Structure 1
Amino acid sequence: MFIKRAKSRPSLRTRDSDLPESTNTGSPLAKSSVTADDAMGDISMEVDPDESSGSIMERKKAQKKDKQRTGGKSKSSGSRLSFGGGEEEAGGSEPFKPKKSLLSQSIKLPNPSIPSSSTSTPTGSGSGNGNGNGLYSREYLSELKASTPTRAPRTTEIQDDEDEDVDSNGLSKIARDKYSTSIIEDTTPGIPDTAAIAAAKAKRQAALESSIHGGMGEDYISLGSGKLAIYDGDSGPHPESRLMREDDEEGDGDEDMAEYTEAKDKLYLGREANKAAARRLKGEIGELIAEREAEDEDDEETLEWERAQAHRAGRWEDEKPEKMTKQGYKPAPIPTARPIPTISSAQARLAKSLADLQVDKSTNVRNLETVARDLTSLEQEERELKLEVEKVEGKREWVEEFRNWVEMLGGFLEEKYPKLENIETDSIAHFKERAQMVNSRRSADDSDDLSLFLGVPAPNTEEDEKDEFGRSTESEAGPSSIRRKIRRDQRIARRGKRRARSTKSITEEQGYSTDSSLAEGDQEDYRSAQVHLERRVHALLDDVKAEDFRDPEKGLMVRFGGWRKRYEEEYVNAFGGLALVQAWEFWARGEMVGWEPLRSSKTLDSFSWFHSLHHYSHPPLHRTEQPEDDDMDLDDEPPLGPDGDLVASMVSSAVVPLLIKAFEAGAYDPYSMGQTRRAVDLVDVVREMMGKDSRKYTTLLKAVLGVYHEHLLSLSSTISSILASGSIPPPAFDPASRPAMERYLTRRIKLIKNMALWRREAPQETRELVIRLVGEVLRPILGKTWDGGGKEMASKVLTAATGLLSPDLVGWLQQGPGSRW
């Protein structure tokens, strides 16, 4: 058996409700709240009208007033939850009035039928079974358990969609299920009548019409029924609701901690603004640290507490008071009697003081002199520093001016150099055209002579040669062709003119003449072309008005000479002389345009740039630098300057490339003795200026020897083609055959002599050239004409090539084709 609880269940505690009882259906909670008193009818469940009406706060105030009126009477010795009738009668107090919870107040108590078997009404003592002993039987507990609900009841009625969302009071179904009837506060003492409801509806209708027609409508508050709720970040997540959240009232919650976060920090733009903000922040941090340290120092209580903790830890040493020792009486000392000073002692003391003062004076005087000397030296250093500063400033100004001038010079050369190179290209083209004319005429003369004593090469059937009139030359290829006769007559006429102007003998003239002069018409055209080149060179500077750029002696020499005179060390380290030569090259090359180094009598030292650079490379000595003796010859030139010989630099950079191009274009005639001697002299000059191992000298020498190699290749191919099968033989007997052979061999002998002139420059290469010429060209001709004058010509060849031939060629030339050689 179980003892029945007298205290009410939690489900029956106070819960606010103002709805009428008729709106609620029977609830199991209300059913379960029926006690035995209801069945027996002994105790009436009366509800105070003041407690069942009004708001919660009003009911709370009423309960507090009742407690104050009753005082301690409400407290009885028995339990206030006991329902026993005997205790109430013995106490004589007011009858107990049970309070109903809000949920039980809003629910109408049902009156179910009580079974006769198990619902026996308890007695006045509050027993729960039919026996009246206050205990629950097993059947009664089962009935109570069956009538107690385990979850909220579900409505079985099916409502429309509109009823499921919002009711007539503007509450949703979720709000009604969650908060039941405690949401709506009852602010009226009772139910409004029909007149009040009609007046409220009329007022609301008038406010609605006013808002539609543009009125202010301050008293009109829309319930929002039937409208879509649009989310707005500024107005909150539920703008249609009129409930104010706590977060909306207090803000985001960051304002309280804004001083300790970066919520109120500003964003600074710009480097200076960020630096200023960083300085302010650093200052504020320093002030806070200083304030904190000052608080720690001023906090006497904290210091006292720390001292107490240190004393408690046993590390504190109390200051021991000094022991006061009692001293006995000491009488004042009686001064010692001194003798009265005499005059001699006073004089000695004064003399010693005077000597000390003299020493101090001498020391001060020496210090003063030292300071004066230091001051003088400092003033001197100051003056020197001022002079140095002025010198540096002057140097800076001069260097700036010189740099601007060099930039102008660079622009000038960039504009003029391409034009000058075009003129040089035309000049080389003139050399090449003239050389082709002379070589073609000489080749024709050699072919005519060979056709008389050796034969004519076989005609080329693949290529049909045409003359200047478009006629075929195959019919005139023979030794006695009309064309060959015409060329022989022209050659004889040229030789006659030369004999008339020359004093040499006829025998020496036969075959020994170079015959490199042009015809009168060609010579006139060549001369006019050279004059036109000179005019083009002068026209390069017609638009130049500044004398610095027209004459290098007034511009380059003055500027670079001033640089060398002012700052010689910087001038030498920067290779100022080479820079001068590089800039002067434009005017030097322009002066050498049209110069024929092997045909003209104009030499290198005849150019103005040669004398100017030579004079610049030998600057005159100052009088202080001249030797003291007067034995120096006045004709001796000054020594070389720090630049060295700038003429050699100009020859290396401008003259040698010009000579190489001229030799490759045919400006050098290997059959001319005069041109050969001039060429040898030029090469000697280049070797002396740049050295024998210089690359420029080697390149120039190869260009000269290349002319002989090309000529020997042409002669060898001609002889080979004549000696080949199918060639046209010479006439059986022709009185002009022997003179033609002698002329041909004489020209080759002259060629050998010209080669021999290069023996000093290139001995090995010269010997190879002579051996090739004798072995490939002269030996076949001498072998065929040995009996017809070839023997005499062989002795001449041997004499001209002395020391340059191999032993087998020497033996052959001496003994002839029948020997073992």
Structure 2
Amino acid sequence: MSEGSITFKKRTKPSTRSKRDIESDADATTEVPSEVGGGESPISLVTKLKKRVKPKSRLSFGAEEEEGDGEVFQLKKSNLSRKLELSKQSSLTSGVLTSPFNPIAGTPPSTGPSYSAAYLNELKASTPSSRPRVADDESISYDADVSMGTSMYSTQVVDLTEDAEGDTVIPSGASITAAKEKRERLRKTVASGSEDYISLSLTKKENYSTGPHPSSRLVREEDELGEGDDEFAEYTSAQERIALGKKSRKVEAQKRRENMNELIADAEEEDEETMEWEQEQLRRGGLRTESPAVSAQKPVYKPAPIPTPTQIPTLGAAVASLSRALATLTTSHTQHTSSMVSMGDERTRLDLREKELRSIIVTAEDKRSWFAAFREWIESVATFLDEKYPLLEKLEDEHVSLLKERSEMIAKRRLAEDEDDLSLFLGGLPTPPREQLEETDELGRVIPQSNPTIVRRERLAARNLRRQHRLASKSARQNQEDEGFSTDSSLPPSDAADFVTATQKVKSKSRDVLADVKAKDFLDPRAGLVKWFGEWRDRFGETYTGAWGGLGMVGAWEFWTRLEILGWDPLEDTRTLDTFNWYAALHDYSRPRQQMDEDEDMEPELGPDGDLVFAMITTAVIPRVCKLLEGGSFDPYSGKHIRRLVDLVEEIEISTTKENAKFEMLLKSVFLVFQSAIKATEAVLPNYLALNRPHFDPEAIPARRRFLVRQYKLLHNIVRWRRYASDKFGLGLLVSALVSDCIFPVAEGGWEVGGEEVMQKVVGVLPPELVPVPVKVRMSLK
């Protein structure tokens, strides 16, 4: 160190920083030069000592790191690298003591070597230029731990990464350190303005800003970057406090122990990368003995195999090969094209299928919602019918009972007249003595028993009055022909009026069935049934046809049909079936006008249900007519009834067929009415024929004629019915039984007094195959 410079070093208190931070700060220690005779006061010297240059952290390869607010990169060094660094520092301090270069210092000593060409050649020859050779496969690198010298004015950096030409290699760390020491020594002995030496610094003095007063060693406070104590208080221990109390000293001791433990833990931390890095540094510094590299095995020459000679292809073979390749490519192209077309078609089909599925989903949801509402409405209709059907059936039974009562009255009167006539020309039956119980009325009075003789006399008087009334209104010939026809389903005026009153009462009750109903759907089936079932048929035709929706509607409509025909006597009322409202409504519903025909007069075609009028007739009308016929609406002795019955059956036959089971049930009902009339006559006549005690009475001949004419009329009605119904249920046998058992025995007893004339009419009416053999024999003896 020169005499004209004094170096002050500030001693700091041991801090709690880690050993690694202390080592990084060791290289950045700044020496403050000063002149003894400068005339500066001690206060200014102390101020200069406080000003410290901000330490610059260095990377492992020696380049300066730019200052910033970011985190400084610190290289973790192992114990071995620290020992190596300490050995380098000791080698530097063991030689000539160096002092920082001060360009403002006084005149340098005159003694010192000069940098001549001879000296430089000698220096180059004495400086080793290479390090011990290493294995051939080891990569060349530089020593990242070599630190360059640092002064407060400049930084000298040696670039060791440049590639050397020829055999020149990167010098070792020891040679670099020796060169640095020698250059530092020479720099101190050479004048400041001399440029006859080679500087290792990449920059020159002129490149630095010397401030407004370059010749002055004083630095203004505003020229500095900042106050060192405040900016680097963490590293200068400016904020440390001396513990005075016992508790504070214990806390400080505890902190020191924790710092020591941290340093020990950091020293013991060794990983694979760190150990590899240490070994590499030892190898570079020549401190590690290289193990002899395993010599690579000498490769054995292996000659390349000689390929089998192949024949030179000819043009034909090449053309054939190209043709095959072209055919293969053409086939592949065709297949790919067809695949693309098929995939396109498949995609189109999938798109169409997707649209169909979406439409199906929409239709299904619409269908579900509609059928939910339809089901709710059907349930309300079912509840309504469950409540109203008993009232309807009660009124129907009441109407049938009225017809039955009228029929019994007429049959009883006719039977009494027949008995009176038989007693006139065959003799009266003896009245057997019988004990009759006394009958009492509502007040408990005994009803006197009627005398049969007196009753018969009263009936004859009443019949004579009716006959006289009829004779007064008709000619004598008609009177004679109509004799015996006066009892055709006619009631006395008082009874007839009572029957009409009762019938009107039943009809008024039928209107009261729906008196409490306000909903239009239940009052008129065209507003409810036709609307819902018609919408079902129009929107969901397949399900409507599959579920026989038309028959379902007919089953629900049956209530309103039976209610409308309640009180209707098919043989007394002149109305036909097509005059009812239900007939017209079902006729229009069965023939929907889907498109207008050119000829508007043409009847539209039937819908998918067919003719629902036929279904309603077979379901509701025929069973009702059968009950009315069997209940007494049909009088087998009435020619008017038989004519109306034939018309009614023919009208029903238009909507159905004769083979239908319901239609045959109607024919059977008519047959049963005829059979019951013949059985009633057969039950009375044998007793009088067995008695056969005629007596002289002027009324005997007219009485016989009346009886025969009445039976002839019954026969005439049966034969007329048989022309329409043919021989169903044994009508031929019934006709033969009536002629053989009822007409012929009475006619044969009075053959000369009108019996022969009546039998001729009978034979004329009967088909030849139905004429009994005794009748044929008797008629042939004429």
Q: TM-score, normalization: structure 1?
A: 0.51
Would the alpha carbon gap of residues 364 and 776 (structure 1) be closer, same or farther in structure 2, given more than 3 Å must change? closer
Identical aligned residues as a percent: 36
Corresponding residue number in structure 2 for 1:673:
639
Corresponding residue number in structure 2 for 1:388:
360
Corresponding residue number in structure 2 for 1:605:
578
For residue 759 of structure 1, report the CA deviation from its aligned partner. Answer: 2.0
Corresponding residue number in structure 2 for 1:806:
771
CA distance in 2, matches of 1:363, 1:515: 97
Corresponding residue number in structure 2 for 1:719:
685
Give deviations 1:720-762, integer Å, cap 9, x for gaps. 111234x8x443131x222222222111111111111122313
Corresponding residue number in structure 1 for 2:41:
none
Q: How does 1:559-574 map to 2 (within 5 A)?
A: 559-574=532-547
Match of 1:691, as an amino acid? Answer: T
Give deviations 1:416-470, integer Å, cap 9, x for gaps. 0011000000000010011111112222222222222222223232365999994
Match of 2:646, as an amino acid? Answer: V
Corresponding residue number in structure 1 for 2:622:
656
* Equivalent residues of 1:598, 1:678 under 8 A apart: yes
CA distance in 2, matches of 1:528, 1:603: 23
Is 2:556 the partner of 1:583?
yes
* Equivalent residues of 1:458, 1:721 under 8 A apart: no
For residue 402 of structure 1, report the CA deviation from its aligned partner. Answer: 0.4
| Further displaced range: 448-457 or 667-676 | 448-457
Give deviations 1:328-370, integer Å, cap 9, x for gaps. 276999xxxxxxxxxxxxxxxxxxxxxxxxxx99999999999
* Equivalent residues of 2:712, 2:743 under 8 A apart: no
Give deviations 1:682-702, integer Å, cap 9, x for gaps. 333444533323221222212
For residue 791 of structure 1, report the CA deviation from its aligned partner. Answer: 2.0
Match of 1:723, as an amino acid? Answer: L
Would the alpha carbon gap of residues 435 and 363 (structure 1) be closer, same or farther in structure 2, given more than 3 Å must change? closer
CA distance in 1, matches of 2:382, 2:576: 30
Corresponding residue number in structure 2 for 1:752:
715
Give deviations 1:762-789, integer Å, cap 9, x for gaps. 3262221221111111122112212322
For residue 549 of structure 1, the aligned residue among 515, 522, 528 is 522
Match of 1:772, as an amino acid? Answer: A
Corresponding residue number in structure 2 for 1:786:
751
For residue 505 of structure 1, report the CA deviation from its aligned partner. Answer: 2.8
SS of the residue corresponding to residue 621 of structure 1 reads coil
Would the alpha carbon gap of residues 466 and 491 (structure 1) be closer, same or farther in structure 2, given more than 3 Å must change? farther
Would the alpha carbon gap of residues 327 and 450 (structure 1) be closer, same or farther in structure 2, given more than 3 Å must change? same
Is 2:418 the partner of 1:418?
no
Would the alpha carbon gap of residues 372 and 715 (structure 1) be closer, same or farther in structure 2, given more than 3 Å must change? closer
For residue 518 of structure 1, the aligned residue among 481, 491, 499 is 491
CA distance in 1, matches of 2:755, 2:339: 112
For residue 815 of structure 1, report the CA deviation from its aligned partner. Answer: 4.7
Corresponding residue number in structure 2 for 1:192:
none
Corresponding residue number in structure 2 for 1:462:
434
* Equivalent residues of 2:736, 2:772 under 8 A apart: no
Match of 1:731, as an amino acid? Answer: H
CA distance in 1, matches of 2:608, 2:495: 50
Match of 2:510, as an amino acid? Answer: V
CA distance in 2, matches of 1:602, 1:429: 22
Corresponding residue number in structure 2 for 1:774:
739
For residue 601 of structure 2, the aligned residue among 635, 645, 649 is 635
Give deviations 1:496-551, integer Å, cap 9, x for gaps. 57x36x99932332223443222222222111211111111111111111111110
Give deviations 1:357-404, integer Å, cap 9, x for gaps. xxx999999999998887776655544433332222111110100010
* Equivalent residues of 1:556, 1:584 under 8 A apart: yes
CA distance in 1, matches of 2:413, 2:654: 37
Match of 1:692, as an amino acid? Answer: K
- Gaps (5+ residues) in structure 1? 1-323, 334-359
Q: How does 1:681-692 map to 2 (within 5 A)?
A: 681-692=647-658
Would the alpha carbon gap of residues 453 and 664 (structure 1) be closer, same or farther in structure 2, given more than 3 Å must change? same
Q: How does 1:435-514 map to 2 (within 5 A)?
A: 435-462=407-434, 464=436, 470-474=447-451, 476=453, 482-493=457-468, 495-496=470-471, 499=473, 505-514=478-487
Q: How does 1:206-217 map to 2 (within 5 A)?
A: none
Corresponding residue number in structure 1 for 2:137:
none
Greater relative contact order, per chain length (Cα 8 Å cut-off, separation 6+): 2
| Further displaced range: 638-647 or 429-438 | 638-647
Q: TM-score, normalization: structure 2?
A: 0.53
Corresponding residue number in structure 2 for 1:195:
none
Corresponding residue number in structure 2 for 1:708:
674
Would the alpha carbon gap of residues 767 and 477 (structure 1) be closer, same or farther in structure 2, given more than 3 Å must change? farther
Is 2:739 the partner of 1:739?
no
Would the alpha carbon gap of residues 753 and 609 (structure 1) be closer, same or farther in structure 2, given more than 3 Å must change? same
Give deviations 1:143-176, integer Å, cap 9, x for gaps. xxxxxxxxxxxxxxxxxxxxxxxxxxxxxxxxxx
- Gaps (5+ residues) in structure 2? 1-296, 307-331
Would the alpha carbon gap of residues 465 and 634 (structure 1) be closer, same or farther in structure 2, given more than 3 Å must change? farther
Give deviations 1:69-105, integer Å, cap 9, x for gaps. xxxxxxxxxxxxxxxxxxxxxxxxxxxxxxxxxxxxx
| Further displaced range: 508-517 or 442-451 | 508-517
Q: How does 1:57-456 map to 2 (within 5 A)?
A: 327-328=300-301, 381-456=353-428
Corresponding residue number in structure 1 for 2:90:
none
* Equivalent residues of 2:471, 2:479 under 8 A apart: no
CA distance in 2, matches of 1:408, 1:677: 44
* Equivalent residues of 1:466, 1:473 under 8 A apart: no
Matched length = 457
CA distance in 2, matches of 1:363, 1:510: 106
SS of the residue corresponding to residue 440 of structure 1 reads helix
CA distance in 2, matches of 1:509, 1:711: 20
CA distance in 2, matches of 1:528, 1:798: 43
Would the alpha carbon gap of residues 425 and 325 (structure 1) be closer, same or farther in structure 2, given more than 3 Å must change? farther
* Equivalent residues of 1:771, 1:804 under 8 A apart: no
Corresponding residue number in structure 1 for 2:74:
none
